[in-house]
Chain A
Amino acid sequence: MTVERETWRALGTGVHVLVTDGDIAAATAAVRAVLSEVDLAYSRFRPDSELSLINADGGRTRRISPLLADAIATSLRAAVVTDGRVDPTVGRAMRAVGYDDDFDRIRSRTDPISIRLEPIPGWQAIQFDSRARTLGVPKGVEIDLGSIGKALASDLAAAAALEAMGGGGVLVSLGGDIAMAGDIPEGGWRILVAEDSDTPPDSDGEVIALHDGAIATSSTTVRTWRRGEIALHHLIDPLTGVPVDSPWRTASVVAATCVDANTAATAAIVRGASAPEWLAGFGLAARLVGTAGDVHRLGSWPAASEAA
């Protein structure tokens, strides 16, 4: 089986489409179309996105697009299964800690920030009817679909690419959130487990093979910035409304879908010390990296194997 790839940037992150025995052009076109729709539906940094318009005009219930409805349902399910550790109502808290723009611009700001601790409204504040496809967001509540939205985009893009190819196999990585569909290369899709998704895949490090499902990684070591003397990152603890202080700096999880993998990875960091027990309860294969760099392989995660 031959593997072809296309790489570009979209939604502020790296996109990789790999195809085995399929039409790479068709797959790429399908992925681009999905990402374009995602950008328009729920980008937080695009003022004319459907979600941005809703966040700017809270307090009323409106009918939303099928894609945004899918994303909202996905984020609410993530909130339920993580006992609120992954919560879509962190939008205002994200802005409060300075994450309110394209990340390159955020990183360039170094002046001191005044952090205003604000209550996280909690996902229960959202009024969502999946059948009527209506969404009600109270005034002052801002939804941020964050990494769950990115993982959903990976799942949708992989499915769309396979359908466009009409056969073969495809892997889609959107900022390290990896979904696959269709046939698998001999030996599986080989994944370098890194903390930064921009790490070249031929770098030294731990490599595992996936034969189905998906993998996602959350980390407090990437998308970090400083404002004055304060070091900040993008993983908000819904209990406090500020970046989480966790014993884990990075969590990688293998699950049936990229959404599930991302949900579990993010929740693991937010949960902290109780993460191993929580992950074990779902029988998930996971790899946690402690703040000192100590690596913990959980469930069916394979023993370490270094890249050639």
Chain B
Amino acid sequence: MKSAHRLTAAERDRAIVRLRELTIGAAVASVVATAGLASVAAASNAGSTDSSGATTAAVTGSTSGSSTTTTPAATATPSTTSSGVTSPTTTPTTTSGNAHVSTGSS
């Protein structure tokens, strides 16, 4: 288990600067002066939790009639971990042709 990140001085400064910017620039009715410090403290405290697993999917790669795609390269086998996020077994590749679907924020 990886412990929570203890903030650096630079990160604390960034939080404080952001608070000041908003205090000046926004219509702030009530600023809790200790907000930044309290959240910094909360983020600085170590804690623990349970973890969930990661999954993998089938691997394939080829060239189709409607699009061209480079052959995917195998990478390290993914593993379940609570201390990091995992990559898939193959890397994304370049392709041409219309997409099936769009990623983006919603």
Contacts and interface: CB of A to CB of B under 8 A. Distances in A.
Contact of B105 (A76, A113, A217): A217
A239 B64 contact: no
A301 B54 contact: no
A224 to B, nearest CB: 10
B49 A254 contact: no
Contacts of A189: 100-101
Interface residues of B, number: 82
A165 interface: no
Given A115-B27, A178-B103, A207 B95 contact: yes
A245 B18 contact: yes
A117 interface: yes
B96 A305 contact: yes
Given A197-B102, A245-B18, A283 B57 contact: no
B61 A240 contact: no
Contacts of B60: 183-184, 186, 188, 211
B18 A190 contact: no
A120 B39 contact: yes
Interface of B: 1-2, 4-5, 7, 11, 14-15, 18-19, 21-23, 25-32, 34-36, 38-40, 42-43, 45-52, 54-64, 67-70, 72-73, 75-76, 78, 82-106
Interface of A: 3, 5, 13-14, 16, 18, 70, 73-74, 76-77, 79-81, 83-84, 87, 112-125, 128, 130, 150, 155, 159, 169, 171, 173, 175-178, 180-203, 207-219, 221-223, 228-230, 237-242, 245, 250, 252, 254-257, 259-261, 263-264, 272, 281-285, 300-303, 305-308
Instruction: Enumerate the 5 nearest inter-chain pairs by beta-carbon distance, A residue then B residue, closest first.
Output: A213-B88, A175-B106, A122-B42, A83-B5, A114-B29
